[in-house]
Amino acid sequence: MSAQRDMKEKNPWHTPVTIIFSVIGVIAIVALVTVAVLQNRPLPQKYKYGIVLDAGSSHTALYIYEWPAEKDNNTGRVEQTLSCKVDGPGISSYASAPWKAGKSLTKCLEQARQKVPVKRHSETPLYLGATAGMRLLNLEDSSASTKVFQAVEEALQKFPFSFQGARILSGQEEGAFGWVTVNYLDDRLEQNLQTRGALDLGGASTQISFVSDNFDGSDSPDNAVAFRLYGNDYNLYTHSFLCYGKDQALRKTLAQQTKSGPGTILDPCFHPGYTETKNYSVLYDSPCVSDRKPQGAPATFNHTGKGNFSRCQEVVKRIFNFTECKYSQCSFNEVFQPRLQGPFGAFSAYYFVMNFLNLTDTSIPLEVVTERLSRYCATPWNQVKEQHPGVKLKYLAEYCFSGTYIVTLLTKGYNFTSENYPNIKFIKKIKGSDAGWTLGYMLNLTNMIPAEAPDSPPLPYAGYVSIVTVIALLLFVLFIFSLRPLWPRCSKHPQII
Ligand SMILES: Nc1ccn([C@@H]2O[C@H](COP(=O)(O)OP(=O)(O)OP(=O)(O)O)[C@@H](O)[C@H]2O)c(=O)n1
Ligand SMILES: [Ca+2]
């Protein structure tokens, strides 16, 4: 028994010197790793915010974006955190009572005030961008448009955000920023992947934007937007067709059928059994059609549905000019368009309409799309109403026209074929953020997409911690070995005293 006790006492690791060194070493390692980890740990997430109001022709929507406070420059990090649809029509509809345009926005801005933390309010930029509705009002009556902007600015300045101004976007900007949004959210820009074209269908204008190898801007400089993003150059083709949004296209289509000012229009784009009395003055109250107003027409007309897809398509085709083109190739109305290339994302009214019609799946062949539309258009209006009790009647009445218009615009207007139609994806949101021009607009104005690729730390945080720990352990082992001369001699066969 006593011999065993002596062996234990002679264990060389149990001498006071090594015990002290070991304890100091362990404390040093723990201290070193703790300091390194604490010093370099990611700070608790703090967010910054940006607010954009999309003042469209048919309605206004407010979007709040947020991103981690320290990482303004990294891609894929800005996300939509709130969207609020403003009640009532677009701001251009308040031309005769501009103050109402300002007032209409306050409910959504109140929501924004609640959502953004108080201490961030004063540094949160707030932008309002108006699109085709205000473009048209500006053409028609520029002083009315100025008054609407004054009223809107007054209302926005009452909120504690950093108001950066309200303005009309050009069609080029609207198209280009829609393209930036889609490709930013898809992470295609920083990773230099093939980009996705953007198709936006609004109420008053429609945009097409894409990168094509056979387009460098020389053919048609008005359609070119050059970007340098994350170290890559993009020559974007973009065009906005004013008056070819879905509501104005409907006016143009009706105007085609009311040239002589008849008392009744038998409209193939509306369901059989649909009949409404409409005012000529309301129909022609838009610069898109005002020059076509029939002389000596009665005050009203009976708008009666006939529900015939192919005849509807014939009338819709008449609102496009396909005959003249001074370039190598055109879409329509003498507008240059390079060869379609790559995948496309189609959003806003493209999505609303195709989603309603259950046609968002583009693997459905175009012939089947046409068949289904023919069947839908031929469905009696009473039956349509019965089948969709929750849908606003104004929207519901127009889906036959809208579906026909979309198919015609894509295939006859932009020249999509059965082969490349499946390249289109109808989308509403990408990773939780709405597809549309607003995010691209804010990223641009806040310089959030750098021209050159940002430097990133060579190691992720977990890798850094592991390496520090391993090196500290190695140093400790080396240190212990360097003390070898101090180690007490230990014999393989301890002597029994
Ligand atoms: N559930 C919905 C919502 C909207 N719409 C229609 O979609 C069109 C508007 O789309 P939107 O992208 O909101 O247009 P705006 O931005 O208001 O117009 P613009 O971009 O031309 O200024 C309108 O015709 C509206 O009637 C629809 O058919 N179904
Ligand atoms: Ca829009």
User: In sequence order, what DSSP letters do the residues of 175-219 get, joined into one string?
Assistant: HHHHHHHHHHHTTTTTTTPPP-EEEEE-SSEEEEEEE-TT--SSS
Pick from 144, 126, 124: nearest CA to 135: 144
- Give, in order, the Cα–Cα distances in Å from 452 to each of 70, 188, 216, 348, 457: 18, 15, 21, 31, 16
CA distance 99 to 93: 12
Q: What is the mean pLDDT of the chain?
A: 92
**Residue positions in the annotated binding site for ATP?**
203-207
| Distance of alpha carbon 194 from alpha carbon 342, whole angstroms | 7
Quote the CA–CA distance of 436 and 345 in Å, as a whole number: 10
Cα–Cα distance, 292 to 124 (Å, whole number): 46
> Is the distance from CB of 278 to CB of 413 less than 8 angstroms?
no
| 3-class DSSP assignment, residue 51 | strand
Fold of 44-168: Nucleotidyltransferase; domain 5 (3.30.420)
Does the structure show a pLDDT above 70 at 310?
A: yes
440 DSSP 8-state letter = H
CA distance 78 to 328: 40
pTM recorded for the entire structure = 0.87
Indicate which atom in ligand 1 lies nearest the CA of residue 206: 21
Ligand nearest to the CA of 135: 1
CA 350–ligand 2 middle distance (angstroms) = 11
150-157 mean pLDDT: 98
Cα 30 off chain centre by:
48
| CATH node for 172-445 | 3.30.420.150
Beta strands at 344-348 and 424-426: parallel, antiparallel or unpaired: parallel
Taking alpha carbons only, the member of 432, 476, 459, 464 closest to residue 64 is 432
Residue 496 binned pLDDT confidence (cut-offs 50, 70, 90):
very low
* Percentages of the chain per state (helix, strand, coil), in multiples of 5: 45, 20, 35
pLDDT of residue 493: 54
Burial of 402 (0-12, 13-18, 19+ CB in 10 A): buried
Residues acting as catalytic residues: 174
- Tell whether the model's pLDDT for residue 494 goes beyond 60: no
Query: Closest Cα to residue 170, out of 204, 130, 203?
Result: 130
Binding residues are: 203-207
Report the SS3 class of residue 123.
helix
Ligand 1, residues at Cβ distance < 6 Å:
56-59, 90, 131-133, 202-205, 245-247, 348-349, 352-353, 395
Q: How far apart are CA 95 and CA 129, in angstroms?
A: 17
Does the pLDDT at position 339 exceed 70? yes
The string of pLDDT tens digits covering residues 226-257 is 999 999 999 999 999 999 999 999 999 999 99
CA distance 442 to 50: 7
Q: Predicted ipTM?
A: 0.98
For 364-399, write each residue's pLDDT tens digit: 999 999 999 999 999 999 999 999 999 999 999 999
Domains 44-168 and 172-445 share a fold: yes
Confidence category of residue 72, pLDDT binned at 50, 70, 90: low
Q: Ligand 2 center to residue 348 CA distance, Å?
A: 7
Cα 435 to ligand 2 centroid, rounded to whole Å: 10
The residue whose CA is least distant from atom 26 of ligand 1 is: 395
The domain limits of the chain are 2-41+459-492, 44-168, 172-445
Atom of ligand 1 nearest to the CA of 133: 22
Give the helix ranges, DSSP H, for 326-449. 349-356, 366-378, 381-387, 393-408, 437-445
